[in-house]
Chain A
Amino acid sequence: MNMLNVALPKGRLGERVYAMFEKAGFACPSIKENNRKLIFENPEAGVRYFWVKPSDVAIYVERGAADIGVAGKDILLEYQPDVYELLDLKTGICRMAVAAKEDFRDDPARPLKVATKFTNIARNYYAAQGRDIDIIHLNGSIEIAPILGLSDVIVDIVETGTTLRENHLSVRETIVPISARLIANKANFKFKNEPIEAIVKSISEQMEALP
């Protein structure tokens, strides 16, 4: 049977998004069982879900292993996968921002040292301003980079700002608002158009019904 393959990000966001798919008529009750399985399918509904690392969803979709998936806008901006971005799911809301030590003063005469996981986003943001920067790619605990003098600023996702505050950092500029997006593989969109359009329509209606 020609199943619709859906890549969901592991974690709370994925669970919230699954509820939307369930309401859209693509339920898969086994997904709620508490086990370590990563792939769940419901042949009657014609759907197969799999949990993947959030930053990998776009890869599964771009390469067609998943027909559709849910990925953060941060990942789409950073990796620019060749996919359709069909819906803003208005969940997983945060922002990509520049943060620095509370007492940091920028000196435009020298390159700005920027620590980040999102090197492409940071590079594009400062290139648009014509600012010379020195990018430092880190994989985690970005907040300590300015404290230890590794960088002047950081470019990272800010949700509530608690981590920044606790480390005496503050947001200087917001680069772009982030939320979860429904993405689709460009080729599979043509060959599984009916179920994909049905999901898009139902989830849009669910979001419109929200207060």
Chain B
Amino acid sequence: MIIDENVLLSDEIAVYRLRSLYRSYGYTPYKMSKFEEYDLYVRNKNFLVSDNIITFTDISGKLMALKPDVTLSIIKNNKDTPDTVQKVYYNENVYRVSGSTPAYKEILQTGLECFGRIDTYCISEVLTLAAQSLSCISGEFVLDVSHLGIVSAVLDSLGVSPAVREELLRCIGEKNAHGARAICEDESVPEAGIRMLQGLIAAYGDPKTVLAALDDLLPADLAKKERQELAAILAVVPGDNVRLDFSVVQDMGYYNGIVFKGFVNGIPVSILSGGQYDRLMLRMGRKSGAIGFAVYLDLLKELNRPAAEYDVDTVVLYDDSVDMGTVRDTMQSLIAAGKRAVASRSLSDTITYRAIADLRK
């Protein structure tokens, strides 16, 4: 049976398209239970989008949680394979607080993870798949990419305390160059350092232009390896929709290297988020590297598909005087002609219709 995409909702279409995309690149499906031991999340609280978790005690007395995240479970349940690469994708419901409404939500999330020996190709493939995932959802999309190694090197060069560094990182995430300057001036950071940081915050655009601007902005030996790595990776990622943007910041206790966020026109927040999380792997006792991303499909409901002008094309009116076989034949012939039809004893205010087929005598 061929599925007519017109009957599918935006998130349903995305699920099928993304599954097909990830399968074509050799990613295998990963299925898991809805529950996980609460302890896993307590140990890695800052990795989670929100630290509100629904918990319950199972019949053996263990404190369990309804999964607020997929990545931690996949790492926990997968074998450590530092010499090869494992590629998996998932399509799961997670349970957490989303957006500014303080209430739990069931959120459909799809994504992929790549574990093991992560090389330049692996990273560029994941970025390519992130860009293609966004293009499956909308023609107008932007994938913002950053390298935490570069951000980290610039912050290190300023010689500030860890608390101030956190404040500056927040300013980078807000593109708040004036706030960063005020903090640096309070900390007596030299003017050259302040300008470098402000330049990093202002840098935004296509990778080639921004990388060239970085070469002018940063001392030659500062984050040289990371800049070369970023250039090598982005040279392989196709598309005009990739931007370098250092305001993409993820928790540095878990993430390292490349991090990214995806946006589509019409949705006011990022719908895709990911990056390299070797530090999380280390914390969980793994030797493998890892990179992955999640697409938040619940947000696609905001992409309004134009509402149909009518709920149905034809209302087939019948009563006890009409032979039921006639009602069935009328319905079937309308549907076979590609019409949406509803059989009813009377006209209702709750549905709109284009035409009436009155079979009543």
Mask: chain A, 74-114; 1 = CB below 8 Å from B; 0 = not: 00000000111111100000000000000000000000000
For the complex, is B12 an interface residue (Cβ under 8 Å from A)? Answer: no
Q: How many residues of A contact B (CB 8 A)?
A: 18
Interface residues on B, range: 10 to 19
The chain B residue sitting closest to A59, CB to CB, is B100
For the complex, is A188 an interface residue (Cβ under 8 Å from B)? Answer: yes
Taking the closest CB of chain B, its distance from the CB of A50, in whole angstroms, is 16
For the complex, is A125 an interface residue (Cβ under 8 Å from B)? Answer: no
Mask: chain A, 170-185; 1 = CB below 8 Å from B; 0 = not: 0000000000000011
The chain A residue sitting closest to B179, CB to CB, is A85
The chain B residue sitting closest to A87, CB to CB, is B178
B178–A190 CB distance below 8 A: no
A83 to B174, CA, bound (A): 7
For the complex, is A64 an interface residue (Cβ under 8 Å from B)? Answer: yes
Taking the closest CB of chain B, its distance from the CB of A91, in whole angstroms, is 13
For the complex, is B243 an interface residue (Cβ under 8 Å from A)? Answer: yes
B142–A186 CB distance below 8 A: no
B176–A187 CB distance below 8 A: no
Chain A residues, CB < 8 A from B174: 83-85
* Given A85-B175, A85-B176, A87-B178: A187 in contact with B140 (beta carbons within 8 A): no
Chain B at the A interface: mostly helix, strand, loop or mixed? loop
For the complex, is B102 an interface residue (Cβ under 8 Å from A)? Answer: no
B263–A86 CB distance below 8 A: no
Instruction: Name A190's contact: one of B100, B176, B179, B263 (CB within 8 Å).
Output: B263
Taking the closest CB of chain B, its distance from the CB of A210, in whole angstroms, is 15
For the complex, is A126 an interface residue (Cβ under 8 Å from B)? Answer: no
Chain A residues, CB < 8 A from B243: 190
Instruction: Name B144's contact: one of A62, A184, A190 (CB within 8 Å).
Output: A190
B175–A190 CB distance below 8 A: no
B269–A191 CB distance below 8 A: no
B247–A84 CB distance below 8 A: yes
Taking the closest CB of chain B, its distance from the CB of A193, in whole angstroms, is 8
A187 to B247, CA, bound (A): 12
B178–A186 CB distance below 8 A: no
For the complex, is A63 an interface residue (Cβ under 8 Å from B)? Answer: yes
Taking the closest CB of chain A, its distance from the CB of B70, in whole angstroms, is 22
Mask: chain B, 165-202; 1 = CB below 8 Å from A; 0 = not: 00000000011101100000000000000000000000
Chain A residues, CB < 8 A from B100: 62
Chain B residues, CB < 8 A from A187: 263-265, 267-270
Chain A residues, CB < 8 A from B268: 62-64, 185-188
Chain B residues, CB < 8 A from A190: 142, 144, 243, 263
Interface residues of A (CB under 8 A from B): 62-64, 82-88, 184-188, 190-191, 193
- Could you show 8 A-B contacts with beta carbons less than 8 Å apart? A86-B176, A87-B178, A187-B263, A187-B267, A187-B268, A187-B270, A190-B142, A190-B263
